[in-house]
Structure 1
Amino acid sequence: MLLEFLREMFPFAKIPQSCQDMKRLIKDLGLGYDKIHSCPNDCMLYWGDQKNQQSCHVCGKSHWMNSNTEDVNTDEGGAQLRKKPVKVLQYFPLIPRLQRLFMSSKTAESMTWHNDQRTDDGLLRHPADSLAWKSFDSKFPSFASDPRNVRLGLAADGFNPFKIMSTSYSTWPVVFVPYNLPPWICMKQSSFILSMIIPGEKGPGNDIDIYLQPPIEELKQLWSGVETYDVLK
């Protein structure tokens, strides 16, 4: 209904015809997400070499909402029903989102603000003024030599999406903050990079490290180096 309304309001715009077309468009923009199945007890992710396991190798809980191990079930009428995983992590790949920051001239210029435009007078106004940042630069001079290399902060917190405290359900977003940007931009909500959404009856607690495996894998890849297009140069 919303898509139909938008097409009536903006007849000159190319509004997608259906929700599937809309999802396809967003995916082509590099703004899609991956669904990664996980153990309901936060023991493991069905990811990588363990993607096709049928049960958790730690607690033994089934991968699926039913006990069968076939990929497709059949109902009483003979129709095929695809099985549903018990728990699904929504993961938003980091690398294409960082690459998009260098595809716009405005954001690409802001990504080197900490090196090109920051006032270095000994006062603490930005993470680049901190001892931790300077210590990291001295330890890894090759990384520090290119100001376009991205510095990220990571934040996570849980909330009840239904605003009913008695409901046993929580949602844990994990967010990256690009510290290259000026301080008046980097802490704006529009600059945050959503990394994943962890669902469940309770927060992951110390088991959050299980869910951090995909972003850590991408961060290792980024540390080795990922080539990207810089619109300014």
Structure 2
Amino acid sequence: MTDKAMTMILDLLRDAFEDAKLPPFYEAKKTIKKLGLDYTKIPACPNNCMLFWEGDSELEVCKHCGTSKWSSNKKKKQAAKVLRYFPLKPMLKRLFMCSKTAEHMRWHASESNPDGLMRHPRDGEAWKTFDQIHSGFSSDPRNVRLGIATDGFNPFGTMSSTYSIWPVFLIPYNLPPWMCMKHTSFILSMIIPGKQTPGNNIDVYLQPLVKELRELWNDGVETFDSSLNETFRMHAVLMWTISNFPGLGILSG
């Protein structure tokens, strides 16, 4: 949907609901940026060979297959394929901006499990073994443990169009079981464009996420914990992937 169409819808809603305080669309977009909900557009090769990103951002054609970076639309110069990437660090830092959520991010370490039953991944052997191997990471319960899930779907639903778009989600497992698997806790990491499934080339699109995960594991990021009113260095780790078997095959290359 274009910005102009969205503005027209907001104008219609203002006419229908006189008491509603709806900002103009450009003001709403500025608010979203302040909340850390903005995304980065990264042009991609139409054949899923590479991202025009970092050192390759100035290239005009794919260095693998020679395909042009630009679409054939002569009226407006635009990339033929665009990855929407939501930077991870601002979203993880935002989990600690609310004091109640910040407390929940320590739940896995503060709550006991007296009967030994498994209700959450923290009760399993994989979690406990990780804690033993990486004691430095586990010494601060605020360090974030993540799972990743991705699959393709047709956004056009009932239409006959053949199209496959791939959202990539992250799940913060620090949260208690009644929170971590709710859709409101999911973190949208990126939207991999169609029309065709990326297949084994999905690793091309995962590069920005892998880079941030490496930085979060090795260096961390300064984060303010509103529940304890202090700043700490937050680290993160990707512990699991969640997918069906075809998706697992693609995700693992």
**Above 0.5 in TM-score?**
yes
How many residues were matched structurally?
A: 219
TM-score (norm 2): 0.81
Residue 59 of structure 1 aligns with which residue?
Answer: 65
The match for 1:231 among 217, 226, 248 is 226
Kindly tell me: are residues 225 and 56 of structure 1, through their superposed partners in 2, closer, same or farther at Cα, counting changes over 3 Å? same
Kindly tell me: are residues 137 and 6 of structure 1, through their superposed partners in 2, closer, same or farther at Cα, counting changes over 3 Å? same
Q: Using the aligned pairs only, state the percent identity.
A: 56
Residue 206 of structure 1 aligns with which residue?
Answer: 200
- Please state whether the residue corresponding to 2:225 is helix, strand or coil: coil
What are the Cα deviations for residues 31-63 of structure 1, in whole angstroms up to 9, with x where unaligned? 111101001111100111111111111111110
Larger Rg: 1
Instruction: Establish whether residue 24 from structure 1 lines up as the match of residue 19 from structure 2.
Output: no
> Where do 5+ consecutive residues of structure 1 fail to align?
68-72, 74-80
Residue 157 of structure 1 aligns with which residue?
Answer: 151
> Where do 5+ consecutive residues of structure 2 fail to align?
1-7, 229-253
Residue 80 of structure 2 aligns with which residue?
Answer: 86
Report the Cα distance in structure 2 between the residues aligned to 1:222 and 1:82, rounded to whole angstroms.
Answer: 38
Task: Give the drift of 1:165.
Answer: 6.7
Report the Cα distance in structure 2 between the residues aligned to 1:31 and 1:43, rounded to whole angstroms.
Answer: 28
Instruction: Establish whether residue 49 from structure 1 lines up as the match of residue 44 from structure 2.
Output: no
- Please state whether the residue corresponding to 2:204 is helix, strand or coil: helix
What are the Cα deviations for residues 66-107 of structure 1, in whole angstroms up to 9, with x where unaligned? 49xxxxx7xxxxxxx541111001111111111111010111
Report the Cα distance in structure 1 between the residues aligned to 2:96 and 2:184, rounded to whole angstroms.
Answer: 16
Report the Cα distance in structure 2 between the residues aligned to 1:211 and 1:190, rounded to whole angstroms.
Answer: 24
Further displaced range: 111-120 or 173-182: 111-120
- Please state whether the residue corresponding to 2:203 is helix, strand or coil: helix
CA RMSD of superposed structures (Å): 1.9
Residue 76 of structure 1 aligns with which residue?
Answer: none
Q: Which amino acid aligns with 2:63?
A: H
The match for 2:42 among 12, 36, 39 is 36
**Would you say the 8 A contact 1:160–1:169 is kept in 2?**
yes
TM-score (norm 1): 0.88
Task: Give the drift of 1:3.
Answer: 2.5
Q: Which amino acid aligns with 1:222?
A: L
